[in-house]
Structure 1
Amino acid sequence: MTTELARRIAFTIGALFLFRLGTQIPVPGVAVHGGFAADRIAPLSIFSLSLFPYLTAAILVQLVAVVWRRLRALDRSGEAGRRKLARFTLILALLLAAFQAFGIASVMRQMPGLVVDPGDWFVLSATASLVGGVLVMIWLSEQITRRGIGNGLALMLSVSIVASLPSEVASFFTQLRRGAISGNALVGNASLLIVVVALIVFVESARRNVPVQFAARRVGEHLLPSCSTVLPIKINSAGYLLPATVAPWAISIPVVIAGVIFGSDDGSWVEAITANLEFGEKAHIILGSITIFTLAFVYTAFVVDPDHAAESLARQGGVIPGVTPGEATATYLDRVVSLTTAIGATYLAAISLIPEVFLAYGNALVYKMGGGAALIVVCTILDLQTQVREISLTNRGGVRR
């Protein structure tokens, strides 16, 4: 282990320790010594909102960039443009956090015995504490990304997921002892989790390598000889956060808005639609699959631009064997990306909806971790592995060994 790698790992561990410490600091004014809140201190901590407001803001900005060319150009205009985009994301995240924190604080003061002094001052202080907690977590995630190892946002989400696993495992064994579940269900859950993790590792590591031939060319005073290489295209170019995270919103938000506008009294059509779109219902599974599939294609179109790739190859003198440079190359790359995205979108939908499928057929105990959680944790570990390898093979000064 190099000194640089050890330093980065130590910094990451320290930052994650601070993150976990923050989840144990209660919101000011909460009666944590009372019976109601004593065993629920984590959900009422200053880090209660987690990084979801920031994640939501980042996803919304990326979705807008898909349809707004000017915003997309900022991301490709260099460091200054990316800083502007980061500022937009931060401002939106804080606005979302303030809205959510105010709602949580307003509900908390109405719960008897939870708040010491349920007045306006509590709502103001609790809102400020929750928003401040989001700001601290954003800062910590950025510090991990810059000075530590791995992606700070993904690491903190993964740590939150992994931290809940011991209680889930303990719950399984408690139910097993009581006879609430059978040993076969426990073995089935473990086997399914192993299969899912193996599938995630396989697909996230898979690439469709497009052969590229570069002619001899001069760069400055150097003459580069002709060479053959490949253009790797990920099977899952959409990543693991956006489709699985946005899909539930796309389903629930229209229903919530319809309930607010038309009412949701028992027997109304809104109530009937809401009942059929609950987690585990067949309509929710079908609509969720379609939404994830569509979002995977939309976001891949944002991160993988065949026209831009074709122009870059043409500028550098690269050609795909058997394909004419220019528009024909863009069309060929678009066809390859579409085929790989179809596979990746099917994989994302399957992984994300596995828990619902089991719930729909009466097996609510199987695979409690969830497909989205498994995606986040496994992909974070794969990213860590890649970065550790890169840092281990790089000397001080950025020169590879």
Structure 2
Amino acid sequence: MKSELPRRIAITIGALLIFRLGTHIPLTGLSPQMQAGLLLSSGAAARISIFALFIIPYLSVAIVMQLVAVVWGRLSALERSGEAGRRKIARFTLILTLLLAAFQAFGVASGLQDVPGLVTEPGGWFLLSATATMVGGVFFLVWLSEQITRHGIGNGLALILFVGIIVSLPADIAATFQLLGQGAISGSLLLLLAILAVVGVAVIVLVEGARRNVPVQYAARQAGTRLLPARSSVLPIKINSAGFLIPATVTPWIFYLPLVLATLAFGQTPTLAVAYDHIQFARPLHMILGSIAVFVLAFIYTAYVLDPARIAEVLHKRGGAITDVAPGEPTADHLDRVVTLTTFVGAVYLVAVSLIPEALVAYGKLPFLFGGGSALIVVCTILDIKTQVRGHSLTNPGGELS
């Protein structure tokens, strides 16, 4: 039987091409002239296409569910109860996605019909059709990402985010060279940016692959009719156990959600206008609050992913013990110290990745720069694809199933 790796790669590429095609399909009801212009402009088309909401509503709800599970033990227990529990959470996530996507889509559609000359026939029918189309686009992308995850290569959600980021890179590079030609930036500054980009990617690759290995000894035990001998192993703990999506995605909510709620309650007051101005990207307050938020979120989510008490319990059940540490509570305390120190390093790393590009824009007088969150998504997605491709290659050496 032939290796399935080429089939998985083909499915992944085909699904991503479908996604890109959808970003060039404008919503129905727009004026013919506007539709023609949108088809020629990928950036604008993506904003007013059938995928105008992208996959953000689903991603936002999924992240909120994970954060709620951190503080609500019942939801956490349901997630860890098995396949049935995870299906319940998935259904609830989709229901909340429907509500959030419908709310956002209605707001977008209302804004579009207020633009003179953009919509052919403004009114209730356009609002209904545009809202339904954008909500359908979100759920189609959710389905498409699941097909990539199941039948393709890599994580579907991460790959769709990856493509959404990468497609804008050529235009950004062209704009940078245009500024260089106009004398807006110097050649030495551009060279510095290139060096920082290479160093940044190297650091991300290094840290994302780094592990703190805790030595573990397993005693000899009986497994059915077999006697498993004593063996040595390690418990690997990632330096960045918080990943990249939660710190990068949730941090902006901390800035803007309170202000949005305050605006809805009190209207656009001068105080809120000043607050909005101070939390814009590359402003000092934005950098300070953003760094604190990323640091705290890294600790909160790592505490959910790596529970020392639960790990110690699992080790004890499997006959394992950390070298020179007594089982039970001493093991949990030892793991807690290791995880805390490791998480501190990972949190500092995440803060640096998010803060350095913003500081360069703020104080280096750069017009724009590839964001730290975007860089994390791109690099981590590539690393994940590399790992999966290597796994399939080892499983199917020489194109044959072993």
TM-score by length of 2: 0.95
Q: 1:183 aligns with which of 165, 183, 187?
A: 187
Distance in 2, Cα, partners of 1:285 & 1:277? 8
Distance in 2, Cα, partners of 1:239 & 1:280? 24
Tell me which residue corresponds to 1:348. 350
Structure 1 position 291, deviation (Å)? 0.6
Distance in 2, Cα, partners of 1:191 & 1:73? 46
- Matched residue of 1:393: which SS? helix
Distance in 2, Cα, partners of 1:310 & 1:99? 44
Distance in 2, Cα, partners of 1:371 & 1:46? 28
Q: 1:123 aligns with which of 105, 127, 135?
A: 127
Q: For structure 1, which runs of at least 5 residues remain unmatched after alignment?
A: none
Distance in 2, Cα, partners of 1:21 & 1:269? 43
Matched, 1:279 2:277: no
- Matched residue of 2:114: which SS? coil
Moved more, 71-80 or 231-240: 71-80
1:112-152 per-position Cα deviation (integer Å, ceiling 9, x unaligned)? 11111111100110000000000100000000000101000
What is the one-letter code of the residue matched to 1:213? Q
Contact 1:354 1:370 in 2 (8 A): no
- Matched residue of 1:3: which SS? coil
Structure 1 position 26, deviation (Å)? 0.6
Distance in 2, Cα, partners of 1:49 & 1:60? 18
1:233-258 per-position Cα deviation (integer Å, ceiling 9, x unaligned)? 00000000001110111111112223
Structure 1 position 37, deviation (Å)? 4.7
1:64-143 alignment runs, 5 A limit: 64-143=68-147
- Matched residue of 2:236: which SS? strand
Distance in 2, Cα, partners of 1:376 & 1:159? 10
Moved more, 23-32 or 146-155: 23-32
What is the one-letter code of the residue matched to 2:97? A
Tell me which residue corresponds to 1:248. 252
Moved more, 375-384 or 89-98: 89-98
Distance in 1, Cα, partners of 2:92 & 2:365? 43
Contact 1:27 1:129 in 2 (8 A): yes
Contact 1:2 1:392 in 2 (8 A): no
Tell me which residue corresponds to 1:238. 242
Structure 1 position 93, deviation (Å)? 1.3
Tell me which residue corresponds to 1:361. 363
Contact 1:32 1:41 in 2 (8 A): no
Distance in 1, Cα, partners of 2:66 & 2:142? 18
Contact 1:216 1:226 in 2 (8 A): yes
- Matched residue of 2:33: which SS? coil
Distance in 1, Cα, partners of 2:222 & 2:97? 47
Tell me which residue corresponds to 1:393. 394
Contact 1:314 1:326 in 2 (8 A): yes
Q: 2:296 aligns with which of 274, 279, 294?
A: 294
Contact 2:26 2:38 in 1 (8 A): no
Tell me which residue corresponds to 2:4. 4
Contact 2:287 2:355 in 1 (8 A): yes
- Matched residue of 1:208: which SS? strand
Tell me which residue corresponds to 1:384. 385
Q: For structure 2, which runs of at least 5 residues remain unmatched after alignment?
A: none
1:366-390 per-position Cα deviation (integer Å, ceiling 9, x unaligned)? 5x22111100000000001111111
Q: 2:219 aligns with which of 191, 215, 228?
A: 215
Structure 1 position 362, deviation (Å)? 4.5
User: Does the C-alpha gap of structure 1 residues 146 and 36 become closer, same or farther in structure 2, counting only changes over 3 Å?
Assistant: closer
Structure 1 position 3, deviation (Å)? 1.7
What is the one-letter code of the residue matched to 2:310? H
TM-score by length of 1: 0.95
Number of residue pairs aligned between Structure 1 and Structure 2: 396
Distance in 1, Cα, partners of 2:104 & 2:120? 21
Contact 1:393 1:400 in 2 (8 A): no
Distance in 2, Cα, partners of 1:219 & 1:395? 30
Contact 2:53 2:101 in 1 (8 A): yes
Distance in 2, Cα, partners of 1:123 & 1:145? 33
Tell me which residue corresponds to 1:162. 166
Distance in 2, Cα, partners of 1:269 & 1:29? 39
Distance in 2, Cα, partners of 1:335 & 1:87? 37
Tell me which residue corresponds to 1:338. 340
What is the one-letter code of the residue matched to 2:350? L
Tell me which residue corresponds to 1:48. 52
Contact 1:235 1:344 in 2 (8 A): yes
Tell me which residue corresponds to 1:270. 272
1:268-289 per-position Cα deviation (integer Å, ceiling 9, x unaligned)? 3333333222211111111111
Tell me which residue corresponds to 2:305. 303
- Matched residue of 1:42: which SS? helix
Distance in 2, Cα, partners of 1:270 & 1:28? 36
Moved more, 110-119 or 271-280: 271-280
What is the one-letter code of the residue matched to 1:98? A
Contact 2:24 2:38 in 1 (8 A): no
* Two-structure CA RMSD over aligned residues (Å): 1.8
